[in-house]
Amino acid sequence: MIKVLMVASEAAPFAKSGGLADVVGSLPAALRAFDCEVAVLIPRYSRIELTSARRVYDSLPVWLGTSMYDTSIYQAEAETPFYFLEAHVLYDRDGLYGDSKGDYPDNARRFAVLSRAALAVARRIFRPHILHCHDWESALAPVYLRTAFRYDPTFLGIKTLFTIHNLGYQGLFAPSVLPQIGFDRQIFTVDGLEFYGKVNLLKGGLLFSDALSTVSQGYAAEIQTEEYGFGVDGVLRARSADLYGILNGVDYRDWNPATDAHLTAHYSAQDLSGKPLCKKELIREFGLPEKAADRPLLGTVSRLASQKGTDLILEIAPQLAEQDLYLVVLGAGDASYEAKLRAVAAAYPDRIRVEIGYDDALAHKIEAGADIFLMPSRYEPSGLNQMYSLRYGTVPVVRATGGLDDTIDGGTGFKFREYSAPALMAAIREASAAFENRPEWEGMMRRGMQKDFSWRASAAEYAALYRKLLDGGGNTLHPLA
């Protein structure tokens, strides 16, 4: 039995802003079939109700430099032990990372404490063989492990895996945060946390972990190039022997049109008859004209960020509105995209409808009710929505990048390569032309619905990687470690 402690800033269903939460929420259970026992540590944000959790550790001191944080650990009643790190001064807030004014100014400290607390949990509550950290928010855990705790016998033999879910977010801070996160300037070099004059927390994870992974093979290759490397492609190339691409899986208990509790009608590849009912309901909910039921209905659900190609959707909106098709958008994020999307919906109310906000139930209804799902991402490490779309018979139109390129083929969806509005528009035209031939369209829907992106295959790969690390594979250790 391999014991794994995962550390992350979000996990579904407790706290979610994107796909990271889906992964951290569902991978642990899938790993059980491969002889892994996984516990997860996330912060206890104020949105996490503690009513069904129990306190498993009171007054756990977490030291960073000369500051001490008095924390408590709660455990949720769930199949997997999910631990919540309570530290009122740091996490008792409405947002995960920020509020309407922007990122919280103390994020370096908030997530340094999370990373440091992971080692306290490893010492006192759940002693893992593998410490598996996700994204910049937990990237300092391997750094502390290999620096401050390097000779600590408690941690001897623990191996670390760092998973990159999104290189676009690195945790960049002014060098003045160093003492607050427990470091002196010795670590502030090009071989350490220094990055163009700033402190880069993600870089710590890249340098100090025994192995690295990212969430598709396509993205694993892309991030070693200047175009997709966000300035750390050199570091990643230097570690390419220790870098693995493991595609995300889908939790089909949550995303299955045959059983989805958010839907008014159900359907499957064998019996598609419920899907038009879901489409009608979606049309009604968004207030589109009833005749939309017979035309292609495009949908998208996304964080509104430059990563997601929101600008391309905005650019093609006037052309889309001239076609005999309809578009519904659900998204939240960048305020300027939110405002522009609202303006587009106001300009073409008979064709385009927009809901700004985060709404899990509506996300499910769009997956079920739309005919075509748009994902024109500038880059996409894995992407989950296109895989959800396949299962819901909602044919994806995607940009051929990262996980989108790896999961969609000519038999299940439409791809375009160049990041441009005309290229997206051409792919949409192709998809809506295909929609007119019903038997062929249903063939395409069914092929997508029959694809299996469940966690099983990916969990097997993670388990094999953990074993490899424990057998001594991976890492040429960092010179500072």
Interface positions with ligand ADP (CB under 6 A): 18-20, 22, 301-303, 330-332, 358-360, 363, 382-385
Query: What is 46-70 written as a DSSP string?
Result: TTS--TTEEEEEEEEEEEETTEEEE
As measured in angstroms, the least distance from the Cβ of 123 to ligand GLC is 28
Tell which one of 249, 383, 393, 448 touches ligand GLC (CB under 6 A): 383
Q: Is 335 exposed, middle or buried (0-12, 13-18, 19+ CB in 10 A)?
A: exposed
Contacting ligand GLC within 177-196 (CB under 6 A): none
Question: What backbone torsions phi and psi does residue 381 show, to the nearest 5 degrees?
Answer: -50, -50
- Is 8 a residue that touches ligand GLC (CB under 6 A)? no
| Amino acid present at 198 | K
Instruction: From the list ligand GLC, ligand ADP, none, pick the one residue 215 interacts with, judged by a Cβ distance below 5 to 8 Å according to partner type.
Output: ligand GLC
| 3-state secondary structure (DSSP) of residue 372 | strand
Angle at 20 between CA 86 and CA 257, to 5 degrees: 120
Work out whether 248 is an interface residue with ligand GLC (CB under 6 A).
yes
Question: For 5, which DSSP code?
Answer: E
Question: What is the rounded CA–CA span in Å between residue 169 and residue 232?
Answer: 12
358's contact among ligand ADP, ligand GLC, none, with CB below 5 to 8 A by partner kind, is ligand ADP
Q: Which one of ligand ADP, ligand GLC, none interacts with residue 25, CB within 5 to 8 A by kind?
A: none
- Beta strands, E only, 44-192: 53-64, 67-76, 82-86, 98-99, 102-103, 130-134, 159-164, 172-173
In the list 204, 245, 381, 474, the residue contacting ligand GLC (rule: CB under 6 A) is 381
215 binds ligand GLC (CB under 6 A): yes
CB of 241 to ligand GLC, least distance (A): 22
Q: How is residue 454 annotated by DSSP?
A: B
Q: Does 9 bind ligand GLC (CB under 6 A)?
A: no
Site string for ligand GLC, 321-360 (x = CB under 6 A): ----------------------------------------
Q: Tell me how far apart the alpha carbons of residues 62 and 10 are, in angstroms, rounded to a whole number.
A: 20
Structure tokens at 350: 């008979």
The distance of closest approach from Cβ of residue 188 to ligand GLC in the complex, given in angstroms and rounded to an integer, is 28
164: partner contacted, choices ligand GLC, ligand ADP, none (Cβ within 5-8 A by kind):
none
Interface residues with ligand GLC (CB under 6 A) are 18-20, 23, 165-166, 215, 248, 380-384, 403
